[in-house]
Amino acid sequence: MASTPSTAMTALRSVVKAGETSKMGFLRTFSRSAPAPQTPYPFSSTALSKSSPTPNPTPNLLSPRKGAGLINHINEQLRETYDAKSLTTTLFSRRHKNRILAGSVMTVTSYTSSARTTTSTFSGVLMGVRRRGIDTAFRLRNVIAKVGMEVDFKVLSPLIKEIKVIKRADGKSGLKNLGRAKVGYLRERPGAMSQIASALKTAAK
């Protein structure tokens, strides 16, 4: 005998109701086994917070000169604090007359650890300069044991001890002025790199 639609719907409702009843029973059991904390942590009266003194910002940072942008003002103040040798405004500047050009040969002496007990030296050709205010960085490339090696240095890093220019690519010191800001194409020209390597050997003597 076929069941009517009303009978099927009644049976389906009873099955759903039984499932909901078992689910509620499981939730009651779980809530009894793991009761919620009575006092939420963010509003707990027993939590102790240690007060720390609020650092006072540099007064110069709070009062930029009239007409100066905030970011430029902050960079100027940070340069006065961390760039005592004015490297970002002279040697690594974009338009200074004594700026270093891509293709020049440089030597960087840096500390190997924060203890500043030992140093390492890396010499190579300047591939380019990334000018970002106090975050200015540059990249040197050299060929060691027939393997090209490139190292990035931060100009104002406390781990840099000395930055020395061996030969400038200005057309007067023996190296041609390449006329480019980036000289990544030197990676594919071993002849130019050999000329730079000879310049390093001459400087070492």
CATH of residue 185's domain is 2.30.30.790
Q: What percent of the chain has pLDDT over 90?
A: 25
Q: Can you tell me whether residue 152 is helix, strand or coil?
A: strand
48 falls within a domain:
no
94 DSSP 8-state letter: S
Rounded to the nearest angstrom, the gap between the alpha carbon of residue 186 and the centroid of all alpha carbons in its chain is 26
The whole-number pLDDT of residue 82 equals: 87
Q: What percent of the chain has pLDDT over 70?
A: 60
46 falls within a domain:
no
36 falls within a domain:
no
Q: Can you tell me whether residue 20 is helix, strand or coil?
A: helix
| Banded pLDDT at 121 (limits 50, 70, 90) | very high
Q: Which position has the higher pLDDT, 204 or 84? A: 84
Spatial separation of the C-alpha atoms in residues 204 and 167, rounded to whole Å: 12
Residue range of the domain that includes 90: 68-204
Q: Dihedral of CA 96/102/104/110: which sign?
A: positive
Domain count, the chain: 1
Q: Which position has the higher pLDDT, 153 or 15? A: 153
Q: pTM for the complete prediction?
A: 0.62
The whole-number pLDDT of residue 39 equals: 47
How confident is the model over 19-71, as pLDDT tens digits? Answer: 555 545 544 554 454 454 444 556 666 665 556 666 665 556 666 666 667 77
Q: Report the 10 Å Cβ neighbour count for 146.
A: 6
Residue 129 phi, psi dihedral angles, 5° rounding? -120, 135
Structure tokens at 29: 């059991």
